[in-house]
Structure 1
């Protein structure tokens, strides 16, 4: 248990409700552990002279129809009552974990079937399910445990599905997928540890519910059978003599009430102390993605000229990413074509929603299961990434592709030490032992300029600053021998000084190891200093592919010139408002006919609104998709001063 978790538990115990619940639960558990032995003789002693006697100094809760002491029988029944409730809770948790993790392990289609079955089961009251399973499994303690356990499984399954869906979208899970780690290993090492705390809360409350449910089944005669007895069975016997000795029913009922209340109070205290909400909803099932019809985007022209095929690290031709929606199929990436050579740094720039990050995710095979990726070619080091998932692909992605995500705070698993997370790649792909893999992790942290790497490798992510986490993320990519680094907005969450350090580090790695770099950014100034070539994206398409040195003065597309013109400069007048690109970006669900930029372009003509220009080579040397492509410096022909109505 790390210090953070220990502090949370101390915070739980400091509250009055938490202390009260902890004391009550401790008393119940101690009585259960001690078991019936200390009270067995008094509990089973038959005294025909004191049959159905009322409460007295000798018999605090009176006696039953055989003269046995009811108070001692309640104490003796603690172990069986608590043990059966915990057993049923364990079955609910285990079955819930299996059903909840099924969509992650089995994939979209089979996962949808499991999710549908869980939704149907959730629609029925738990008591109804428990009675149904009790009839199926038969009368007795074993049947009741299975009945209550399986009746509680759908609730746990829904909880697990919801929690896993939230954690699975985190960057450290994507990093593990890129590293080629299998789904089961990701589930065990990355997903389940991050949902352990809310599971503890719900298991505690579930145990209280199971205790009450088990007492109910025994009271109905479907649970524990004579001569064995639990609190529910004692309550059943006490109800029969309620008018002769009310304490015979009150004593076991009070035991059920105190134990159930203690478990529920403890669960609520833990939920508040950990800052969680124990009430969760069921995520909607993933919608199957229909096949994308052909002919949705004009064919792209030839890619930038490359050298020999062996020098091409990434080759992408006519890449399309589509998602199903109520109104039809949405294609946020439409026919993207480009390639990257060894040691080359290529930037992808554009406004939010232009398809930059989705292009990077498609290359990294990280598109959500509901999405569909189509391409005429999608090759990394000559390997076709369109083929079904295989060990060869996972090994290639794990050793040859490094991914640097936008948010360094979510790039690492918060439940594991940094060194262990880096070492996982070498243990999984390179066959190194635990110590050798950790030694390499320390070396990679040193390579990315983290001071005292031996100590840092044993720390948790929350003990790192944002810049250190980003550098450690780069170090994770260097655990293999990457040929391509994909950096998706790697400096957005960092201050200016740390941004420069991260960019300098990426540049140094690229030059020293001849590594290709694909940098996703919206900051034209950043890419101008780091990259050799720029891909400008708008509405899911590449509208211009040009060398970086032409970005500010030799751009051909009006959109590229507008992006360059809105970059603040040191000599910009402070008296004038910053310029903006007029209008709003195109909604991927409603891409207009013709050129998507026409509504915002000052050069637009009727042809622009009717025909979408192909990406083709211009006489100036680089590729551009515009009917009015012409070399002009970045100026205010495509921008205007900001006003209160601007949203772009």
Structure 2
């Protein structure tokens, strides 16, 4: 797997350029002394300090030696010394960075403090200081540059290893008695190897530049040896008469350093988060699953028809949202439920225009407050969404900027979209915090997100949405990770906001009972599709899709028989890039047959506002969800 990742480097434009340059540089380092070593050392007293000519492309030096051949031969020493210094810096930095993980706590803190102090000094200044200690010459310069780079590498290693050391699998290894050294070698270093390798490549380019600088100053390579820095220093006085003679070594340093740095950048893109996945043609167009009547779309605050979200993958386009259609009337509360990965949050992000590249959002209709979100100018859409759409995310700790006070972040909306001054915007922010029942709102507005409890942060997130005049509130798992009491408070607050502002609410949750208690209508989503939609008042009695019935049966209540196993939904949702040809739920459904596995059912109307996408819906029983319970018990 690692090998395939590194092979991808050469497939990017930057990576291909880096590989070509690096092959040329390393090839010269290996072959130039063998092929042109004799010509580079040949002294010609009849051609002393000549300018560029057909016989000597870069001219000659004070002994009549050909500077072009000397430039080529100097590649080996320049590259080797830079790589040796990099190896010393990487090894020393890795040892220092991982020392706090294996040494006693006090000694580890001393090492960390020493590294922090060293990092505060510029690398070149440290190199010069170490060069004075180790003395001039090749050996001293190699150790000076290597040790100068070590603190920065140690700091990086310490930061990365500290992040991995806090994960659960490392804690589990400690519980079972694995030693510190073994944890470091088997659990920590393998998980930080990729960024370390990337920074090693970048460090080699920097070491090449610094080494050339020391040689230029006369501290590095000494005669009769020579590298690019020494060639530059020896011919600098000719820069005004024969500029190419002095500039050529500098160009060689830049090209070699660029090769290493470009390789590091390409590796960072491939191994990190910035690798652009190549698109494979145009994204597929989903067939319409359900039409929205024109009168319903005209009255709706949000109308979505045939919404699709696609992302380019390795083998083709991945569509986490496939042909979703719905409309939300003003003041209506609609719930969107389903297991994790069913496409709920992706649908909300697409509606709110929060999906960034490389995601592609398409729809036959996507209107909010009568405005076409896909066809309107970006500035107009941004102002509309900034004032009329509120989004409450499931983790307000990551949604708020941890470096800014709560009040300032709320006030930014009023400054940006309502033209208020800073003082008036902050006053409105305090008022909005009071409206969501945050005690001591004036004081809380001057606090940072981490100073508020989870429930207060969620209330502040709702207050953030109320800075404008929202016509729709999208609440994406607003009660996740909150205790039952705080959950109830947040849901009551959303209901109060809806009553006070007549805003519609789209509540996204994996807990079908939360939606049942809060919304008038529920949409059940599975594998990127809406498979059933019906009024919540009919949820317990008329839900007909096997998936909806299984969700209901999987939620225990006060009447659940504690002597019997809890009902579960067998299997797991399909991978979005490996969706079956037929119904996506067929592999987990006991009612599925060959027709279900071959053909994907369309969303059809059962009556009223009840729609379902299923070839074999569960018979509707007004007495309650007995069939769902029986089916769940049979699966157990």
Instruction: State the TM-score, normalized to the length of structure 1.
Output: 0.60
The structure 1 residue matched to 2:613, chosen from 609, 621, 625, is 625
The question of 1:468 aligning with 2:460 is answered no
The structure 2 residue matched to 1:387, chosen from 375, 383, 389, is 375
The question of 1:639 aligning with 2:629 is answered no
Q: Distance in 2 between matches of 1:539 and 1:361?
A: 16
The structure 1 residue matched to 2:276, chosen from 268, 274, 286, is 286
Q: Distance in 2 between matches of 1:395 and 1:482?
A: 12
Secondary structure of the 2:570 match is coil
Q: Which residue number in structure 1 is paired with residue 401 of structure 2?
A: 413
Count of aligned positions: 439
Q: Which residue number in structure 2 is paired with residue 489 of structure 1?
A: 477
CA offset at residue 283 of structure 1?
3.5
Q: Which residue number in structure 2 is paired with residue 364 of structure 1?
A: 352
CA offset at residue 582 of structure 1?
2.2
CA offset at residue 356 of structure 1?
0.9
Q: Distance in 1 between matches of 2:492 and 2:145?
A: 61
Change (3 A) 1:248 1:625: closer
Which structure 2 residues correspond to residues 404-553 of structure 1 after superposition, within 5 A? 404-553=392-541
CA offset at residue 327 of structure 1?
2.3
**Any idea what the Cα deviations from partners look like across 1:229-257, whole Å, max 9, x if unmatched?**
x998x99xxxxxxxxxxx9859xx99998
Q: Distance in 2 between matches of 1:266 and 1:543?
A: 54
Q: Which residue number in structure 2 is paired with residue 341 of structure 1?
A: 329
Change (3 A) 1:122 1:458: farther
Q: Distance in 2 between matches of 1:519 and 1:260?
A: 57
CA offset at residue 538 of structure 1?
1.2
Q: Distance in 2 between matches of 1:420 and 1:116?
A: 42
Change (3 A) 1:268 1:388: farther
Report which structure shows greater RCO (CA 8 Å, sep ≥6). 1
Q: Distance in 2 between matches of 1:355 and 1:447?
A: 32
Q: Which residue number in structure 1 is paired with residue 41 of structure 2?
A: none
Q: Distance in 2 between matches of 1:323 and 1:268?
A: 38
Q: Distance in 2 between matches of 1:525 and 1:326?
A: 38
Change (3 A) 1:428 1:256: farther
Change (3 A) 1:433 1:256: farther
CA offset at residue 258 of structure 1?
8.6
Q: Distance in 2 between matches of 1:288 and 1:201?
A: 41
Instruction: State the TM-score, normalized to the length of structure 2.
Output: 0.61
Q: 1:292 touches 1:322 (CA, 8 Å); kept in 2?
A: no
Q: Which residue number in structure 2 is paired with residue 63 of structure 1?
A: none
Q: Distance in 1 between matches of 2:153 and 2:594?
A: 66
Change (3 A) 1:495 1:116: farther
Which structure 2 residues correspond to residues 66-145 of structure 1 after superposition, within 5 A? 117=14
Q: Which residue number in structure 1 is paired with residue 550 of structure 2?
A: 562
Change (3 A) 1:621 1:452: closer
Q: Which residue number in structure 2 is paired with residue 207 of structure 1?
A: 122
**Any idea what the Cα deviations from partners look like across 1:60-114, whole Å, max 9, x if unmatched?**
xxxxxxxxxxxxxxxxxxxxxxxxxxxxxxxxxxxxxxxxxxxxxxxxxxxx99x
The structure 1 residue matched to 2:313, chosen from 304, 311, 325, is 325
Change (3 A) 1:248 1:318: closer
Q: 2:277 touches 2:314 (CA, 8 Å); kept in 1?
A: no
Q: 1:616 touches 1:623 (CA, 8 Å); kept in 2?
A: yes
Q: Which residue number in structure 2 is paired with residue 301 of structure 1?
A: 290
CA offset at residue 328 of structure 1?
1.8
CA offset at residue 259 of structure 1?
11
CA offset at residue 512 of structure 1?
1.1
Change (3 A) 1:116 1:477: farther
Secondary structure of the 2:375 match is coil
CA offset at residue 487 of structure 1?
0.9
Consecutive unaligned residues of structure 2, counting only runs of 5 or more, are: 1-8, 27-81, 87-114, 164-191, 199-267
The question of 1:615 aligning with 2:603 is answered yes
Q: Distance in 1 between matches of 2:454 and 2:16?
A: 40
Q: 1:319 touches 1:336 (CA, 8 Å); kept in 2?
A: yes
Q: Distance in 2 between matches of 1:584 and 1:256?
A: 56
Report which of the two has the higher share of helix: 2
CA offset at residue 263 of structure 1?
8.5
Give the superposed CA RMSD. Answer: 4.2
